[in-house]
């Protein structure tokens, strides 16, 4: 047991790999919003806005990688952890300026953009934060602070920037302002504040854990800081837990609905040729079932609804669509209609696969370019 404990201490020993002075200097340097950071921020926000506008994941990832917004957030967390009031004020000032400029630029872009979003999935993804986003920001912040403190740095910061995703919520706020949509504005604002707060909180904890030198502060100031952090923590985390419960409920309903449909594809001479799961809150989850073949009578429908209950679905959540069903059927026509339907589905899936392959190729190209640029810079 002693040998195992010694081994654990050996693999988690940090002292030889940590440079606190260099880390603190680098973090303070990245706070400033002037010179290159101004141009980089403007480029990042435009790239992110375009990526969201065209629903392109690789473009959005590129904007996350080049954004300088994380600098003031980590700086604020370090100032809080080391009781450096001046650092906190400077970081907060630069943070607010960056956020304001980002929202203004994004709003102007979406006001001027001629592209209309019929299915803005990437934008919608930034409007419903959950406890999982809290965990991503918290552990991303821990990894980011650990990377800043290492003597030999790697590519962790890039991964943290992608995982915590600060730019897309700012762009989504701009979209909400441009379209006067309170749902987009509030949801994206909450997600951005979650990411910002928990990255700063992780930095605060890590600065304490790694033993960064603290400035003197009286006990009353420390108590006040702890109360403020606790209050903000509750404000941030409670709604995210409620949202996560809704997400889990939706996921469970969708899973149950899919299982129910797969296990009841045929009911006598009737076929479920398509279905649609509708999610929109606890009281608006429904399953649309599209039937073909012979029309179901009342008794057959009751049997099907009873089967749905065994999957956790309520009878009032099942909506039958029998426009394609008839009283007497021609099996050849039914088979032909089904073949036509599934052929169309296959063509749509092939198109989606092609688009994803193109996006994946673009992402791999961007990653290779970044690795090459990092290699040149390290030389």
The answer to whether residue 331 scores a pLDDT higher than 60 is no
The answer to whether residue 327 scores a pLDDT higher than 60 is no
Percentage of the chain surpassing pLDDT 90? Answer: 2
> Could you tell me the sign of the dihedral formed by the alpha carbons of 36, 41, 42, 46, in that order?
positive
Pair type for strands 286-294 and 318-326: parallel
Residues in the chain: 379
Q: Residue 113: what pLDDT?
A: 82
Is pLDDT larger for residue 247 or for residue 309? 309
Hey, where are the domains in the chain?
Answer: 2-217, 253-360
Q: Residue 121: what pLDDT?
A: 60
Task: State mean pLDDT over 333-349.
Answer: 73
Is pLDDT larger for residue 122 or for residue 256? 256
- Residue 129, classed as helix, strand or coil, is coil
Torsions phi, psi for 96 (to 5 deg)? -65, -40
Q: Residue 126: what pLDDT?
A: 63
Position 33 confidence tier, pLDDT thresholds 50, 70, 90: confident
CA 267 to chain centre: 40
Q: Residue 156: what pLDDT?
A: 67
Position 370 confidence tier, pLDDT thresholds 50, 70, 90: low
- The answer to whether 205 and 137 have CB atoms below 8 angstroms apart is no
Position 167 confidence tier, pLDDT thresholds 50, 70, 90: confident
Per-residue pLDDT reduced to its tens digit, 38-53: 888 888 888 888 888 7
Per-residue pLDDT reduced to its tens digit, 267-306: 877 878 888 888 765 567 888 888 887 778 888 888 888 8
Task: State mean pLDDT over 1-11.
Answer: 64
Per-residue pLDDT reduced to its tens digit, 81-138: 888 888 888 888 998 988 998 899 889 988 888 876 655 565 666 667 777 888 888 8
Percentage of the chain surpassing pLDDT 70? Answer: 79
> Could you tell me the sign of the dihedral formed by the alpha carbons of 265, 271, 273, 275, in that order?
negative
Per-residue pLDDT reduced to its tens digit, 61-70: 887 777 788 8
d(CA 289, CA 94): 53
- Residue 113, classed as helix, strand or coil, is coil
Tokens read off for 13: 């020993």
d(CA 33, CA 91): 9
* DSSP code per residue over 299-345: HHHHHHHHHHHTTT--GGGEEEEEEEEESS--HHHHHHHHHHHHHHH
Among 113, 133, 98, 123, smallest CA distance to 176 is for 123
d(CA 200, CA 76): 6
d(CA 197, CA 137): 8
The answer to whether residue 170 scores a pLDDT higher than 70 is yes
């Amino acid at each position: 047991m002693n040998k195992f404990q010694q081994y654990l201490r050996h693999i988690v020993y940090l002292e030889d790999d940590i440079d606190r002075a260099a880390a603190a200097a680098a973090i303070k340097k990245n706070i400033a919003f002037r010179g290159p950071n101004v141009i980089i921020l403007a480029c990042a926000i435009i790239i992110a806005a375009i990526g969201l506008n065209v629903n392109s994941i690789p473009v959005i990832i590129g904007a996350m990688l080049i954004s300088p917004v994380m600098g003031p957030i980590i700086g604020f967390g370090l100032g809080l952890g080391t009781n450096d009031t001046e650092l906190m004020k400077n970081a907060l000032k630069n943070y607010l300026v960056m956020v304001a400029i980002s929202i203004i630029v994004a709003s102007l872009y979406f006001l001027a953009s001629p592209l209309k979003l019929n299915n803005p999935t990437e934008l919608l993804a930034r409007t419903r934060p959950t406890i999982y986003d809290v965990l991503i920001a918290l552990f991303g912040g821990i990894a980011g602070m650990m990377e800043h403190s290492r003597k030999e740095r790697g590519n962790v910061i890039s991964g943290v920037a992608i995982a915590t995703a600060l730019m897309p919520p700012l762009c989504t706020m701009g979209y909400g302002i441009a379209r006067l949509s309170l749902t987009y504005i509030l949801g994206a604002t909450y997600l951005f504040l979650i990411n910002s707060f928990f990255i700063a909180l992780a930095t605060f904890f890590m600065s304490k854990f790694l033993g960064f030198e603290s400035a003197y502060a009286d006990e009353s100031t420390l108590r006040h800081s702890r109360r403020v952090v606790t209050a903000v923590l509750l404000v941030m985390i409670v709604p995210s837990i409620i949202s996560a419960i809704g997400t889990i409920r939706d996921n469970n309903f969708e899973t149950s609905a899919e299982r129910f449909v797969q296990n009841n594809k045929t009911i006598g001479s009737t076929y479920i040729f398509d279905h649609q799961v509708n999610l929109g809150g606890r009281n608006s989850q429904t399953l649309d079932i599209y039937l073909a073949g012979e029309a179901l009578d009342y008794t057959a429908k009751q049997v099907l609804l009873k089967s749905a209950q065994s999957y956790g679905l309520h009878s009032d959540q099942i909506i039958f669509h029998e426009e394609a069903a008839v009283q007497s059927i021609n099996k050849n026509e039914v088979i032909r209609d089904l073949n036509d339907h599934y052929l169309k589905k296959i063509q749509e899936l092939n198109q989606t696969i092609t688009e994803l392959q193109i996006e994946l190729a673009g992402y791999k190209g961007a990653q290779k370019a970044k690795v090459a640029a990092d290699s040149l810079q390290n030389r």
